[in-house]
Structure 1
Amino acid sequence: MQRSGIRDSEVWSQGDAEAAERYIAPKYKIFHDPGDPWEGRELDLTAYKARVRTLRAAFPDQHFDIQRLFADGDAVVVTWLWSATHQGELPGFAATQKRIFMSGATAYFFEGDRLAGHWQITDRLGVYQQLQAAKSAA
């Protein structure tokens, strides 16, 4: 299970949306992820891959640095640090070319050996503040 949580971070870091077919369940639920337009939705594999591509279009060099992993039953919690250069459009923000940083924690839920959903807390406000500062400086 822990390896699947790490692989999800690697897909996001490397942008290999097609790799999701190897470890994402046919239905993936985003239970809690405030500020994420997909929050509360159940995604099939096509929608999951589209989500990866959409977010990587704004931040193509994004990288997750995993800090800690905790396993409990059918869940793995990952704490992480994220960094990326804002190179593509994000709603409300044209590309700023600014390096952005964020921290967060994600609880991944499993069905067998496949990821079936997550519950996530991130510092999205901090990201928007960094983007706004870059926008104001331009």
Structure 2
Amino acid sequence: MSAIENKAVVQEFYDQWNAGTIDFERLVDADVANHQPDRDPERGLDNFRRAIQGVVTAVPDSKWTTIRLIAEGDLVVCHNTWSGTYGGDVFRGIPTVEGSRFSVEHVHIYRLTEGRIAEHWVVRDDLGMMVQIGAVSTPK
């Protein structure tokens, strides 16, 4: 697939997430590798789906806004804003203010194979989110 077609797949993934239903089988490879900064890489569609469901559970009104999509070959970089209302009272073991709104920027890198997401890496602003949801405070 072309870089333009790969960008369209990644954008469709976010559009579907925003709409509340992701067609994982069509958009994500069965052996997808998900690289997160806070854990070892996980492989497989079930693990990827479970990771997304964890985000949806914690932030049911998640909204992803694409700032820019850049593609070269089989790689797509998505710079986006993630916003929503944090529904839990704990984030990574730290107490939070339940119902806190947040908006943070992320950079996701996707490798696609045959029109499906085969690998995912992310750089997140976890500290910015933790400040906004009351898990940590900024120095005064």
TM-score of Structure 1 vs Structure 2, range by shorter chain: 0.7 to 0.9
Paired with 1:12 and 1:98, the residues of 2 have a C-alpha distance of 21
Partner of 2:37: 34
Gap regions ≥5 residues in structure 2: 1-5
Instruction: Compute the TM-score of the two structures, normalised by the length of structure 1.
Output: 0.82
CA shift for structure 1 position 107: 1.1
Aligned residue number for residue 108 of structure 1:
110
1:120 Cα deviation (Å)?
1.4
Counterpart among 122, 131, 134 of residue 132 in structure 1: 134
CA contact 2:112–2:119 (8 Å) conserved in 1 = yes
Instruction: Give the 5 Å matches for 1:78-117.
Output: 78-89=78-89, 90-91=91-92, 92-93=94-95, 96-117=98-119
Unaligned runs of 5+ in 1: none
Q: Report the alpha carbon displacement of residue 134 of structure 1 after superposing the two structures with TM.
A: 8.4
Give aligned-pair identity as a percent.
25
Shift of 1:30: 2.0
Deviation at 1:95, TM superposition (A): 6.0
Task: Look up the match of 2:57.
Answer: 57
In terms of fraction of residues, the more helix-rich structure is: 1
The count of residues paired between Structure 1 and Structure 2 equals 130
Give how far 1:11 is off. 3.6
Quick one: which amino acid aligns to residue 21 of structure 1? E
SS at match of 2:56: helix
Tell me if structure 2 keeps the 8 A contact 1:93–1:131: no
More strand by share: 2
* Residues 29 and 97 (structure 1), Cα distance of their counterparts in 2 relative to 1, 3 Å cut: same
CA RMSD of aligned residues (A): 2.1
2:121 to 116, 119, 122: 119
The code of the aligned residue for 2:124 comes to T
Give the aligned partner of residue 3 of structure 2: none
Residue 77 of structure 1 is matched in structure 2 by: 77
